[in-house]
Structure 1
C-alpha cells in the first residue's frame, strides 16, 4: 500500500514539472530568435561596448546583408538590477530558421578577414573584449503571443 501511495504521489508531483518550460520554437521554416546577454566587469561597460561596436557589430550587420540573419538589435537596461541578475547588454538576433541559427556559418572567417585586414589588431581587441566579460549566455526565445 505504501509503495502504491508513494508511486501515486511521485506521479502527481511530476506532472507540473513536465508542464513547465517554454514551448518549442515554431516550425522548421519559421523565424528563430536568440538573445545573447553580456555581463561586463564593473566599470568596463563603455570599453566593452566600444570594442563590440568596432569588431563584432559590423560582422553581424554583414551577416544580415547575406541573409543568414534576419535582424540584429542591441539593448542595455535603463535601470540597474541586483548584481546576480545584472546584465549590461543584450543582443537579439533573429534568424530565418532554427537550422541556420544552430549551424556554423561557413562564410564567417572570410567575412572577418574582409572586414578586418589587420588580423592581429582584431584578435587582440576581441581578446580584450572577452577579458573584461564577467559572463555571457545565449537564450533562444519563443514568441508565444496569441495571433488574436
Structure 2
C-alpha cells in the first residue's frame, strides 16, 4: 500500500460520508494510479439505494474514481492542498455489474493527457478481476 486513509485525508478535502477511497495501492508517476474502496453495508447511501437490495450508485463509483485521480494530481504534479478539484467532464461512462456490500472496489486510472491544468483520465473500476464500471474523466483545480 502506498497511502492509507489518513494520508489520503491529508490531500483530499473529502470527509465521511463522501470520502470514497480508502487506500492507494500503486502509483506510477505521470502515468497511472490504483486506489481501493472497501464497500460496507454501513455506507449511508445503502439506506435508500435500494432497501432490501443494496447497490452502490454508479455516480458514486465515478466519484470514487475521480477522488483517486485527485490524489494522483496531488502526488505527481504537487497540486497544493490549497486547491479544490472540479469535474470538467465525464464521457463514455458504462456500468457493467452492480457493486454491493462486501465488495472491494479497485479503481485504475491512466493519465491520458494533461494540458493547462486539465487532467484527462481513462478510469476503470473492478471487483476482483471483473470490470464493473468505466469512464473517461476530466478534472481541473482551482483555489479554495
TM-score (norm. length: structure 2): 0.27
Q: Which has the higher contact order (CA 8 A, sep 6+)?
A: 1
Query: Which of 1 and 2 has greater Rg?
Result: 1
Compute the TM-score of the two structures, normalised by the length of structure 1.
Answer: 0.26
